[in-house]
């Protein structure tokens, strides 16, 4: 049975401050719903966004007015579309069916909530897979949707747009989106990013490439960290970003870290939003997560069991980004590509 800190002090705790984790919870999917039959104001437009990622398929239904997003419903399910793509070059039949079953549920929710438009985004796994276009055609035929396979640059731009939607400061901001097949790094000040890159580093991709032992051994972790650092260094070479004044992390890795750090059961998005994670706390969590087998990792409070298999790679990616940019802490946010796509659709 893995151990869990009694409070979210991270590395400041000693092993004497640990308690046993309770029995496995049912956290395979995350959902929140703010009931509303009509748009929240006369000037707002209700839109829906479905994000088909390498690891999860997510839904946002929101009212958008003047660039501000009011959530009505948000859903997330780990569907594993990108498992094996890095090796086989193909989306698996199992992954395709998991996504299609989830999209079917989401389409029903969208219809019930009366969204005026539905944007469907597909990212790294569909970009990379040889049968990606066939998968898009299947979604179009089965559900009448028009999925857009976006490249890494567009993924970065939409993520940045979502992140800054409720920020008023003009600080030099870094945003990192740790995805299943790729990681986007965006740096900017104000409405438009000055720099963005999409790294071929993701929680699913790098788990499959490097982590074959359970739990992962030190050599595997070191090799993976070295590969990620090399990718970052190559992407930012010859760029001078000045001093990074604020940093935000989005996607399942940072939100899971925040939920574990706060011992959230059930998940509380209001508590996660804006939670600050010092680098030393993230390193402490890496030590804990990578030292236990997958079966035990699934028992950590705040971590969806379906995310336990890829969380170690995600934490390593986040740590390497923070090290390269000399960040002492990072702020967690749920204002991500879903928000950016909703604003664009409105």
120 & 246 share domain: no
84 — phi, psi (to 5°)? 85, -10
Instruction: Provide the β-strand partners of residue 58.
Output: 51, 76
Residue 163 within a domain? no
The CATH number that applies at residue 81 is 3.30.420.40
Overall domain count for the chain: 2
11 & 33 share domain: no
Site of tokens 């939100």: 255
- C-alpha 56/C-alpha 252 separation (Å) is 9
35 & 20 share domain: no
183 & 296 share domain: yes
Residue 161 within a domain? no
Range of the domain at 227: 3-27+168-338
198 & 321 share domain: yes
The pLDDT, as a whole number, for residue 20 is 36
> Cis omega (within 30 of 0) on the bond before 157?
no
The pLDDT, as a whole number, for residue 7 is 38
The CATH number that applies at residue 258 is 3.30.420.150
Residue 158 within a domain? no
- Asked which of 152, 182, 207 is the last residue of a domain, the reply is 152
The pLDDT, as a whole number, for residue 6 is 37
75 & 223 share domain: no
- C-alpha 153/C-alpha 180 separation (Å) is 16
Residue 160 within a domain? no
Classify strands 68-78 and 56-65 as parallel, antiparallel or unpaired: antiparallel
173 & 308 share domain: yes
Residue 343 within a domain? no
Residue 54 within a domain? yes
Residue 269 within a domain? yes
Using DSSP's 3-state secondary structure scheme, residue 122 falls into: strand
CB contact at 8 A, 319 and 282: yes
35 & 23 share domain: no
Q: What is the per-residue DSSP string for 59-96?
A: EEEEEEETTEEEEEEEEEEE--TTTTHHHHSS--HHHH
Site of tokens 């948000």: 74
The pLDDT, as a whole number, for residue 150 is 94
- Asked which of 152, 182, 211 is the last residue of a domain, the reply is 152
Using DSSP's 3-state secondary structure scheme, residue 189 falls into: coil
Q: How far is CA 22 from CA 192, 226, 298, 304, in A?
A: 45, 35, 11, 14
Residue 345 within a domain? no
- C-alpha 195/C-alpha 236 separation (Å) is 9
193 & 224 share domain: yes
- Asked which of 117, 152, 187 is the last residue of a domain, the reply is 152
58 & 105 share domain: yes
The pLDDT, as a whole number, for residue 39 is 61
Mean pLDDT by 10 residues, the chain (346 residues): 40 37 40 57 88 96 95 95 92 95 97 97 93 96 95 91 88 95 94 91 96 97 98 95 95 97 94 97 98 97 96 98 97 96 95
Going by the DSSP 8-state scheme, the letter that residue 298 receives in this structure is T
83 & 137 share domain: yes
256 & 301 share domain: yes
């Amino acid at each position: 049975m893995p151990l869990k800190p009694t409070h979210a002090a991270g590395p400041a705790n000693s092993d004497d401050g640990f308690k046993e984790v309770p029995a496995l919870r049912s956290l395979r999917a995350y959902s929140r719903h703010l009931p509303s039959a009509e748009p929240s104001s006369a000037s707002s437009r209700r839109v829906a966004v479905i994000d088909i990622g390498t690891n999860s398929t997510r839904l946002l239904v929101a009212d958008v007015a003047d660039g501000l997003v009011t959530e009505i419903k948000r859903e997330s399910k780990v569907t594993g579309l990108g498992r094996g793509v890095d090796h086989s070059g193909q989306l698996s039949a199992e992954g395709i069916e998991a996504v299609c079953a989830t999209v079917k549920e989401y389409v029903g929710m969208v219809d019930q909530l009366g969204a005026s438009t539905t944007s469907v985004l597909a990212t790294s796994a569909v970009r990379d897979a040889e049968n990606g276009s066939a998968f898009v055609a299947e979604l179009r035929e089965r559900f009448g949707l028009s999925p857009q396979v976006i490249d890494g640059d567009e993924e970065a731009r939409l993520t940045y747009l979502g992140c800054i939607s409720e920020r008023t400061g003009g600080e030099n901001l870094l945003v990192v989106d740790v995805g299943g097949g790729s990681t986007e790094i965006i740096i900017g000040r104000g409405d438009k990013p000055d720099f963005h890159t999409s790294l071929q580093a993701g929680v699913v991709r790098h788990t499959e490439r490097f982590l074959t032992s359970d739990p992962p051994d030190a050599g595997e972790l070191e090799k993976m960290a070295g590969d990620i650092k090399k990718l970052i260094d190559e992407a930012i070479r010859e760029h001078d970003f000045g001093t990074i004044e604020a940093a935000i992390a989005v996607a399942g890795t940072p939100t899971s870290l925040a939920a574990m750090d706060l011992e959230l059961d059930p998940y509380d998005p209001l508590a996660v939003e804006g939670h600050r994670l010092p680098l030393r706390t993230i390193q402490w969590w890496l030590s804990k997560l990578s030292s236990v087998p997958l079966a035990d990792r699934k028992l950590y409070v705040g971590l969806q069991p379906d995310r336990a298999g890829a969380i170690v790679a995600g934490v390593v990616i986040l740590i390497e980004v923070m090290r390269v940019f000399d960040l002492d802490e990072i702020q967690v946010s749920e204002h991500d590509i879903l928000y950016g796509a909703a604003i664009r659709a409105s």
